[in-house]
Amino acid sequence: MPTIELSAAAVQAIRATPRTKKETFFDEIITGFVLEARPDGGATYAVRYKDEYGRQKQYKIANAADLSFGDAKKEAIRIKSRTVVGQNPAEERKANRRIPTVSELSERYLEYAKTYKRSHDIDERYLRIHVVPRFGKLHLNQLDQTEIMDWLNGKVAAGYAQATVNRWQVILSHMLRMAKRWGLPGSDYNPLAGVKQKDPNNRIERYLSAAETKRLKQAVEESPNPMLKFIVALLLLTGCRKRELLDGKWEEVNLERKVWRIPTSKSGKPRHVPLSEDAIAVLKEVPRFDRCPYIVPNPMTRKPFTSIFHSWDSARRAAKLPDVRVHDLRHPAASNLVNSGQSLYVVAKVLGYSQTRTTERYAHLDDGVLLNAVNAASQVTGTTWATDLA
Same domain, 221 and 314: yes
Taking the alpha carbons of 4, 6, 10, 11 in that order, is the dihedral positive or negative? Answer: positive
Instruction: Look at residue 173 and tell me if it is in a domain.
Output: yes
Same domain, 73 and 117: no
Q: What CATH number is given to the structural domain containing 13?
A: 3.30.160.390
Instruction: Look at residue 121 and tell me if it is in a domain.
Output: yes
Instruction: Determine the pLDDT at residue 21.
Output: 93
Q: Could you write out the DSSP letters of every residue in 111-150?
A: HHHTTT-TTHHHHHHHIIIIIHHHHTTSBGGG--HHHHHH
Instruction: Look at residue 349 and tell me if it is in a domain.
Output: no
Instruction: Look at residue 130 and tell me if it is in a domain.
Output: yes
Q: Which region, left, alpha or beta, applies to residue 12 given φ > 0 means left and ψ of -120 to 50 means alpha? A: alpha
Range of the domain at 256: 210-329
pLDDT in tens, 120-143: 888 999 999 999 999 999 999 999
Q: What CATH number is given to the structural domain containing 321?
A: 1.10.443.10
Average pLDDT over every residue of 187-201? 86
pLDDT in tens, 78-92: 999 999 888 999 888
Q: What angle do CA 272, 275, 279 make, to 5 degrees?
A: 140
Instruction: Look at residue 145 and tell me if it is in a domain.
Output: yes
**Residue 388 pLDDT > 60, yes or no?**
no
Same domain, 235 and 281: yes
Same domain, 69 and 172: no
Instruction: Determine the pLDDT at residue 389.
Output: 44
**Residue 298 pLDDT > 70, yes or no?**
yes
Same domain, 164 and 232: no
Average pLDDT, the chain: 85
Instruction: Determine the pLDDT at residue 390.
Output: 45
Per-residue pLDDT band for 311 (boundaries 50, 70, 90) equals: very high
Instruction: Determine the pLDDT at residue 373.
Output: 60
Average pLDDT over every residue of 215-225? 95
Instruction: Look at residue 299 and tell me if it is in a domain.
Output: yes
Same domain, 151 and 40: no
Domain count, the chain: 3
Through-space distance between the first and last CA atoms of the chain, rounded to whole angstroms: 117
**Residue 71 pLDDT > 70, yes or no?**
yes
Average pLDDT over every residue of 242-255? 93
Instruction: Determine the pLDDT at residue 350.
Output: 62
